[in-house]
Structure 1
């Protein structure tokens, strides 16, 4: 019998629902607390590497994801010229194993729906409009005080509530994401027929111009620049002006932007909680514990790996003490640190204009690490 019987999870994103599914399948009662008033229906695209797909397959949702997304196993490099000249098409590392594609592009809200449906299927309860304001630890349980004044009690609380985690703050971990100096435009647009993989352009008006197909007719495109205060962050015409500096598929992307395709602009941040990720019977995972720019496309993968490792340790233990949570931390920190530091380093090389940086070596090192199951 598992060491704990009921678990509260704060946050209904990928990390929270992955932990919820695995723990519920292991026989635990699981309740997810979500501060918003319902499922999110907004977002653009997401790039999922093979090691993330390995975890989603464990959840039993891979076939649905493959059907709804766009799998591929190559990476294109294009020149920052008027034709978008293809420089190379490379076989990408299959970090989830040879039986999974290297990458899957998806529409983010569709991924959220698939995982949420699976959670509800295995008996997870999702409680909306449940913002956390206080966490009170006790020897045998943990209490969570919600914004509406009610209190929920659990054997264990998992904070999977993102970059600005209320649980992280409530348990006294004084770490916040810090800016890295870069910003990113993202747009969800129709997919040109020639886009069958992620293609990257280094240089031109921005540091990186890229896109990822997300379905038969859709993709998301992104432009990475030095961070700026973009007061009109949803103005697609600003992104269109930058897109005009690129050729090939970017011509159609530019046209979509000029017609008002939805865009957003965010600044890159990063953090890693170096000390313990828990206090008593409360523990943080995913973006609450570590985050990085999307330059190596490992953010979601690291989050769902956290959830899978924590669930594994909890379900195999026949008694609970904080050594389980310390083992979780010790197992995850080296991997998370490598991804965070590599993601930040890649951006810093661009900001510094370093022409001889070993980008292939950095990327190969990350791929080799995450190819080993967590």
Structure 2
């Protein structure tokens, strides 16, 4: 049996609901094969919205549809129960059946699926992909947390869902094992052509998995769009990670320096050094740089421990009030021009968090060229599917 070969439809959401005394009104759309992350501060309505999409929490109005087929439509009085929506739910608890074996838990996922039918043998492609072959006879309590997650994921996919909803799915797994499991999740959308919606308290998960993000703030959509663009927007920083907020830049691995245990990543034509990684040359990656780790200069500084100096131009300055301590400086990096394809492309955006004093003493203003400096160790890099 091959799971995920049927044509998939986009998931469209437009909902109103009450969640923890919060009035939530949000809409978004996820195409097959793409991952959309709902992000925002704690209490912004992310998990409540996801549960309402799944049919696990009542909505006050709106519509949830797969293509043209509504699973919830308040105007048309359509409200399918959760099991009929066929939107697979996966959270940190797994909800495995404790008295059933791994094999039986996997087969349990196929019950009632018109696309799968009555299975008596677990599909080899799922077992091999998740490396569950050696534990099929064991029960969930005998498995480590990472293996229980794989089992829950396999059961969800064998049910032949219309979409996959992830609510902090790695919440019960030791952090040291997250990267390998994130690689599996990154493979899901493309392998099974599913629309995937993710909620996670860890921005690293979002950077690794999401094609698009929807920022929720007090129950409303503050912004939405491609991950790198939205997460690098200085004007949205207040809705995200506070002092840990920064920029997400998409690039490509170009070289590995074995002697110094560093790697080089191309960011729009400018290369930066990052801690050595195992990703081969040519791998597409996302680089996270916190705004507080950025320093600005008129020219490339000398006698500094920073190894990365990229050129750009200031686009905006946002001060935290007239007498605030700090200000956010938006920057657009210079982009090298390919002589064979001389089209003008916008440079990668990033921003830095500087004191109001340093901004005024340096006389920074929009339109000025600058050099952005930061240490290699200030960068967090993850592969990007």
Larger RCO (CA within 8 A; separation ≥ 6): 1
Pairwise TM-score range, normalised by the shorter structure: under 0.3
TM-score, reference length from structure 1: 0.25
Which structure shows the higher helix fraction? 1
TM-score, reference length from structure 2: 0.24
